Amino acid sequence: MASVRSAVRALPRKTAAGYQSSYYPSIPRPRSLSSFSSLSLSSSSHRSSPLSFSPSHAQKRQLATMSTQAAHPALLIPGPIEFDDAVLQSMSHFSESHVGPGFVATFGETLSMLRQLFQTTDPASQPFILSGSGTLGWDLVSANLIEPGEDALVLSTGYFGDSFADCLTTYGAKPTKLEGPIGGRPQFPEIEKALSEKKYKLVTVTHVDTSTGVVSDLKGLVQAVKKVSPETLVIADGVCSVACEEIAFDDWGLDGVITASQKAIGCPAGLSISMFSGRAMETFKNRKSPPASYFASMKNWTPIMQNYEAKKPSYFATPSPQLVHALNTALKQILARPLSERFQKHKEVSDKIKKAITDLGLKIVATKPEDQSHAMTAIYLPEGVQIADVLPKLGSKGVIFAGGLHKAIATKYIRFGHMGVSVTDPNRNDVDKALDALKTSLAECGYKA
Ligand SMILES: *Cc1c(COP(=O)(O)O)cnc(C)c1O
């Protein structure tokens, strides 16, 4: 077993300076970024309770040390994900005015890079970066693109689709939910039938539902909606898909995609990131009632985003300069290579993981191969193996997975997130380590493949 010290790899030092704006020539190294005493082995969300553990000295030696970051287990939950050093180092930026020329340039450039990430060249498309988590994207849609009393068709493939429907209800919209079986998704004939029976202002779909690992077919969905109800907006929750599953915003004809910083984009949590089509922005402008949110109002934020992108200072509410610097670095890294290559890599690694899991005799929650996301895998535990047994065993081998989240099956499965640097950085062996740890941990729990 390699010692922690010898496990410190010499990363090809994409010196942080390489990713900095010219405004800022050098950055200090970060201090310790995690501590063992606060290690948590639980699911990605506050929605389930954490199990804490303090590793022994021997266990600490097994935890991977990543470059300049403090030794820590590989965080392989469906977000937050592992971070690249340069992204983290960008957050050590000195304090600057949110309306000063340096930050305005960084924010403006970051907004423009989102157009590339979402693959939109239509000047009418509008990016937003707001302080908040992925959930704020649901508020943005619900408060601005639909009015009280109007109908929304919510395609749900798990916990997050259901929550989007709850958010729509909060703002007075009337969601109708279409669900697939657990581990599946609603089918097009059913969706087309629903659309032909009632006028829907918008359709929402979870691109990858993080509670089940089911991926939806966005391209096919937009085609189906355009055929039956062309005025209906198509809005995707891409929190667990943007930057790992292909999304061609213009080509596919999407009207909105919302996401967050901490999943496949690989930036610390705290930013709600979204893109809306010219058509969605027109829908907003033509509202009869004002948006029922102050912070999440597109009326308040649209001019701010447009000004920043035009490199003009503007203020509605203070953004987080440090997080925006981190996002800027993450996007530069992502966009330094063709996006198609990144999507392909996530697919290859996901295919390998799915095969290894099936070879172990385990079942994947997303039943059909075409419904399985490339961002994560939800894995049913074998009969008799408990989440509370297997997660600490994985943790002691330096791997953190999440527990179940879908209410109906929550105690029966675990979730393995495979996004970002854990997949794309050839200097990491997070995925192989996780597969080995899973095999050994299940054997320790008494499971024989
Ligand atoms: C994580 C997630 C969310 C919620 O994002 P938060 O950052 O936790 O608010 C919403 N939708 C999906 C699909 C997610 O995976």
Q: How many Å lie between the centroid of ligand 1 and the Cα of residue 429?
A: 26
What topology is assigned to 4-84+340-444 in CATH? Aspartate Aminotransferase, domain 1 (3.90.1150)
Tell me the three-class secondary structure of 30-44, residue by residue: CCCCCCHHHCECCCC
Q: Using CA positions, which residue lies closest to atom 6 of ligand 1?
A: 134
Index of the ligand 1 atom closest to the CA of residue 79: 1
Q: Using CA positions, which residue lies closest to atom 3 of ligand 1?
A: 134
Q: What is the pLDDT of residue 25?
A: 30
Give CATH 3.40.640.10 domain extents, the chain: 101-335
Q: In terms of Cα–Cα distance, which of 359, 351, 354 is closest to 379? A: 354
Q: How many Å lie between the centroid of ligand 1 and the Cα of residue 326?
A: 19
Q: How far is CA 211 from each of CA 113, 160, 423, rounded to the nearest angstrom?
A: 29, 7, 20
Q: Using CA positions, which residue lies closest to atom 2 of ligand 1?
A: 239
Best residue for ligand 1 mutational test, from 130, 160, 168, 274 (most atoms within 8 Å of Cβ): 160
Best residue for ligand 1 mutational test, from 48, 240, 259, 262 (most atoms within 8 Å of Cβ): 240
**pLDDT over 50 at 9, yes or no:** no
Q: How many Å lie between the centroid of ligand 1 and the Cα of residue 102?
A: 31
The span from the CA of 156 to the CA of 197, in Å, is 19
Q: Using CA positions, which residue lies closest to atom 12 of ligand 1?
A: 239
The helix (H) or strand (E) run that includes residue 14 is: none
Q: What is the pLDDT of residue 3?
A: 36
Q: What is the pLDDT of residue 31?
A: 38
> pLDDT tens across 10-34, in order?
333 333 333 333 322 333 333 333 3
Residue 66's pLDDT band, with cuts at 50, 70 and 90, is: low
Q: What average pLDDT does the structure give for the chain?
A: 89
69 within 8 A of 33, measured Cβ to Cβ? yes
Q: How many Å lie between the centroid of ligand 1 and the Cα of residue 335?
A: 23
Q: What is the pLDDT of residue 436?
A: 98
Mean pLDDT lowest among 38-42, 83-87, 173-177: 38-42
278 within 8 A of 125, measured Cβ to Cβ? yes
Give CATH 3.90.1150.10 domain extents, the chain: 4-84+340-444
Please state the separation of Cα 118 from the chain's center in Å: 14
Residue 51's pLDDT band, with cuts at 50, 70 and 90, is: very low
**Strand 233-237 relative to strand 376-380: parallel, antiparallel, unpaired?**
unpaired
Best residue for ligand 1 mutational test, from 43, 139, 210, 265 (most atoms within 8 Å of Cβ): 210
Ligand 1 shell residues, CB under 6 Å = 45, 79, 133-135, 160, 206, 209-210, 237, 239-240, 260
Tell me the three-class secondary structure of 226-260, residue by residue: HHHCCCCEEEEECCCCCCCCCCCHHHHCCCEEEEE
Q: In terms of Cα–Cα distance, which of 206, 236, 238 is closest to 145? A: 236
233 within 8 A of 203, measured Cβ to Cβ? yes
Q: In terms of Cα–Cα distance, which of 67, 53, 54, 52 is closest to 4? A: 67
The span from the CA of 83 to the CA of 267, in Å, is 7
Q: How many Å lie between the centroid of ligand 1 and the Cα of residue 240?
A: 7
Residue 91 has which token pair? 């957050």
Q: In terms of Cα–Cα distance, which of 308, 259, 310, 304 is closest to 117? A: 259
What topology is assigned to 101-335 in CATH? Aspartate Aminotransferase; domain 2 (3.40.640)
**pLDDT over 60 at 253, yes or no:** yes
Q: What is the pLDDT of residue 449?
A: 83
Residue 410 has which token pair? 């929550």
Q: How far is CA 2 from each of CA 9, 62, 161, 181, rounded to the nearest angstrom?
A: 12, 8, 43, 45
Residue 49's pLDDT band, with cuts at 50, 70 and 90, is: very low
Q: What is the pLDDT of residue 197?
A: 97
Q: How many Å lie between the centroid of ligand 1 and the Cα of residue 5?
A: 36
- The mean per-residue pLDDT over the stretch 270-290 comes to 98
Name, in order, each residue with C-beta under 8 angstroms of 393's C-beta and a sequence gap of 6 or more: 437, 440, 441, 444, 445
Residue 67's pLDDT band, with cuts at 50, 70 and 90, is: confident
In one-letter notation, the amino acid at residue 266 is G
Burial 336-349 (b: 16+ CB within 10 A, else e): eeebeebbeebeeb
In one-letter notation, the amino acid at residue 89 is Q
> pLDDT tens across 384-406, in order?
999 999 999 999 999 999 999 99
| Whole-number CA gyration radius for the chain | 22
In one-letter notation, the amino acid at residue 55 is P
The span from the CA of 384 to the CA of 357, in Å, is 17
Residue 54's pLDDT band, with cuts at 50, 70 and 90, is: low
Best residue for ligand 1 mutational test, from 135, 166, 245, 415 (most atoms within 8 Å of Cβ): 135
Q: What is the pLDDT of residue 56?
A: 54
Best residue for ligand 1 mutational test, from 215, 239, 241, 247 (most atoms within 8 Å of Cβ): 239
DSSP single-letter state for residue 52: B
- The mean per-residue pLDDT over the stretch 315-325 comes to 98
